[in-house]
Amino acid sequence: MDRGLYMVSCLLGIAAALAVFFPLGAKRRAWIPPLGWWLFLMVGVVICSYGLSHSTAPSFAPRITAVGKAYDHFERRHGRDTSYGFQFVPEGGAPISIETEIILPKWGVPAIFNGQTFRVVYLDDANRTLKNEAIDITILSGMNAGFHHSLDARPAGKWLGIPIGAALGGFGFIGLRYMKGDAVAAASDEDDAPSI
For 137-196, write each residue's pLDDT tens digit.
999 998 889 999 999 999 999 999 999 999 999 999 999 999 888 888 877 766 555 555
First to last CA, the chain: 60
Nearest-angstrom CA–CA distance, 196 and 189? 16
Q: What is the pLDDT of residue 168?
A: 97
pLDDT at 16: 95
Q: Are 12 and 134 spatial neighbours (Cβ–Cβ below 8 Å)?
A: no
Strands (E), the chain: 63-78, 81-90, 96-100, 116-123, 134-139, 148-150
Query: Any idea where the domains of the chain sit in the sequence?
Result: 3-55+158-192, 63-150
User: CA 134, CA 115: separation in Å to the nearest integer?
Assistant: 18
**Span 63-150 CATH architecture:** Beta Barrel (2.40)
Q: What is the pLDDT of residues 36-81, one digit of tens each?
A: 999 999 999 999 999 999 998 888 999 999 999 999 888 888 777 7
Contact 130, 105 (CB under 8 A): no
Predicted local confidence at residue 109, as pLDDT: 77
Return the closest-CA partner of residue 67 out of 140, 133, 131, 130: 140
